Amino acid sequence: MGRIISVPEKDNNKTGLNVYRNKESVKVMEQIPLFLEDHVLANTADADLAVLRLSEAIDGYRTYTEFYGADADIARKRILAEFLRDGLCRIPFADRNCPDDLCELWDAFERNAHEQGLRKDGLLPDIRKSFFQHAADVLTRYHADNLPGAGNHYPAGYVFMKAGAWKQAIHTLRASIASDPDNARLYGYLGDAFYLGGNLDAASQCYFEACLIDPAALDWRNMQNHELLLLRQELMEDHDGHDANGEAWIAVQAYLHGMIFPRPMEQKLKLAELFERYLEKEIDYIENRQAQTAAQIFLIGIVLCAHEPLLRQIKGADFAAIRARMKDINPTLFEQYLKSIGKQQKRQCGNQ
């Protein structure tokens, strides 16, 4: 039988899926030789499921049951194959929110797979790989004229990243950020794409930029940097599970641990804009004394003080006052911050 799940051509009603209406799917099943062992049928159906030949997989599991009787594992996998097939049939590929629909379908499928007892180290990684490769193919075909604009919660660049297409993911996410520069979630995904592609410095800068905007807005559930995830978990435990305080300081802690760092800022205008933001946050902090605001001030202060010569050219900016505020907000972390600067200066002297 042919490959039923191949990406369909565009249809007139823009729904996208003629995928499972292949004529071969309604052909009468060929007679199975009586000497065929049960594991051959099961393995063949599993192989079909792994590469998203969903109709063949469903037929294979059904045939297995007809020949060898009910089997709980076979029944579970057939249910999963039907779930994925039916879910894909409902997605209008030409719709702008197609990436959201695809990723939400995968999230639902993965939850269902875990509930059904499908092992993480078994079929699931292969199915995931095939799913996102097909999802990337769909986006390329249906949204080639505006990939950066496709998707809302899950951008097209995220789908390419999950498909292992790092360069395409980076290119698309950068274009998305150009249209939405204050989107922390996009910067987080760009950091993930760089991280998975092996460019750790670029990844660290993207993570820092995301946290500078709003660390809580990052997609922590799908974060690819395991060191950052571990640090976040430790901070949560230190704060007895209070998400606000633990998550608020993760960027500062990650910086002090050398996991993330700001990108160089050479333009006075950019630094002046950041200083204005610092002043706004400072006013908010004086009024509400919230941990999130305090952590943002501290993080912005790190960037401002890292550009001291340029900072001194900005009207109203006071290097000493910024450091004093950072110390007032969190004396313990400020001491660690000063030590980290001392270590950096020693390394720089040693390299000269």
Local mean pLDDT, 10-residue blocks, the chain (352 residues) = 39 41 36 57 95 97 94 94 98 97 97 84 90 98 96 97 97 97 97 97 97 92 95 80 65 95 90 96 94 95 95 96 97 95 68 54
What is the residue extent of each domain of the chain? Answer: 1-143, 270-351
Tokens of 247: 């998550």
- Residue 130 · residue 106 · CB < 8 Å: no
Dist. CA 136–CA 7, nearest whole Å? 10
Tokens of 295: 């952590």
pLDDT of residue 346: 63
- Residue 25 · residue 4 · CB < 8 Å: yes
pLDDT of residue 125: 93
pTM of the entire predicted model? 0.84
- Cα Dmax for the chain: 87
Q: CA nearest 304: which of 276, 334, 285?
A: 276
Look up residue 10 and give its DSSP letter: P
Integer angstrom CA distances of residue 246 from 7, 214, 215, 331: 44, 13, 11, 17
Cα Rg, the chain, nearest whole Å: 26
pLDDT of residue 120: 65
pLDDT of residue 34: 41
Burial of 204-221, coded b for 16+ CB within 10 Å and e otherwise, reads bbbbbbbbbbbbebbbee
Tokens of 204: 């660290």
Beta carbons within 10 angstroms of residue 144's beta carbon: 9
HSE (side-chain half, CA atoms, 13 Å) at 259: 18
Angle value at C-alpha 157, between 151 and 162, nearest 5 degrees: 110
Q: Provide the H-helix boundaries in the chain.
A: 38-50, 54-68, 72-89, 98-116, 124-142, 156-162, 166-179, 184-197, 200-213, 226-238, 243-248, 250-256, 268-288, 291-306, 308-311, 319-329, 331-351
Beta carbons within 10 angstroms of residue 92's beta carbon: 15
Tokens of 275: 């200083």
Tokens of 189: 């995904």
